[in-house]
Structure 1
Amino acid sequence: MVREISSGGVVIRKKDSSWWMAAIELPSAPEPNQPTASSKKKTVLCLPKGLVDPGEKALDAALREVREETGITAIPIVKLGDSKYVYVRSWSDGERVFKIVSFYLLRYDSGRIDDIVDAMRIEVARAKWVRLEDAPKLLAYGGEKQMARKALEYVQAHPEL
């Protein structure tokens, strides 16, 4: 089984006494088993993440992926944990892949959300801010829901942020 090592970030920002989190919407795909012309598009909301390049540290990859996929820069706070899962490649050889994604809690530093290069629109339909307290129910993937919950617990335990 192939192994992939990725890294991503839960970027938070406090605005109007509420914590907000950066999330990305993946490009829409038709719902399965629906005719293409009349199909409803399913919105998939997830955290910015991607493969760790050879020689790159996981934290550096997380910061890079956040910048590339959201248009913002962030400052590291703490590592939240790892999400581990197996998936089957649907785009090439159909091989099973064991994936580990390291997630970091990051604080917004600068930039405008969704200010990304056009070439990135293949991977990201748009980037947006969502309320951190709503993120666990909005995110599409279980491991990412768990990281959003951990981020919420962290900010609640650290009011000095």
Structure 2
Amino acid sequence: MREKREVSAGGIVYRRNHDSVEVALIRSRRRWGLPKGHLEPGETVQQAACREVFEETGLRGEVVDKLGEITYRFMNKWTEGKPVRVFKRVHFYLIRWTEGDVDGHDYEVDEARWFAIETALETLSYATEKKMMRRAQAYIEAELNKASERRTALNLPG
């Protein structure tokens, strides 16, 4: 059986919404997931993550950190009458929203929507993407705790 390796990149976009944090998910073919896609020629994985996030969600942001990678395999294309086993590695980044609207997503997805992180964890269709979301949640919570401690130390209002 023929084998093929693919590299993709994606991101978890988040924003503060009053006292909560929201993340953007996409729906495609009745499954909710994270925006991701293939690298274009000459593109870094981080550049691809930002481009794919924009294309699939309509959102732009600032990369905060790399969350990690997931790998999986699947049967995909048929070449010369034979199936191809694809080994895929997806690099994920945490991205702080700066501009854009989820209504600006492209034709590749059916819907893009903001969710509270806990709701996103329940909504995501794939266990590996839930793992990335938990990493993002831990990172964001740690950053919020640091900011709260700084405000407390300086006697600033929350």
Query: TM-score of the superposition, structure 1-length normalised?
Result: 0.83
Residue among 87, 98, 109 paired with 2:74: 87
Residue among 47, 50, 64 paired with 1:63: 50
Q: Deviations over 1:122-146 (max 9, x none)?
A: x200110011122222111121110
Matches within 5 A, 1:1-161: 1-26=3-28, 28=29, 43-89=30-76, 92-93=78-79, 94-116=83-105, 120-121=106-107, 123-159=108-144, 160=147
Q: Secondary structure at the match of 1:56?
A: coil
Q: Secondary structure at the match of 1:79?
A: strand
Q: Does the Cα contact within 8 Å between 1:50 and 1:62 map onto a contact in 2? A: yes
Ranges of 4+ aligned residues in structure 1 off by more than 6 Å: none
Using the alignment, how far apart are the partners of 2:67 and 2:44 within structure 1?
16
Which structure: greater helix fraction? 2
Using the alignment, how far apart are the partners of 1:55 and 1:48 within structure 2?
20
Q: Does the Cα contact within 8 Å between 1:82 and 1:103 map onto a contact in 2? A: yes
Using the alignment, how far apart are the partners of 2:109 and 2:42 within structure 1?
25
CA shift for structure 1 position 98: 0.3
Using the alignment, how far apart are the partners of 2:84 and 2:31 within structure 1?
23
Q: Does the Cα contact within 8 Å between 1:19 and 1:133 map onto a contact in 2? A: no
User: RMSD of the TM alignment (CA)?
Assistant: 1.4
Using the alignment, how far apart are the partners of 1:133 and 1:113 within structure 2?
19
Using the alignment, how far apart are the partners of 1:155 and 1:133 within structure 2?
13
CA shift for structure 1 position 95: 1.0
Which structure: greater strand fraction? 2
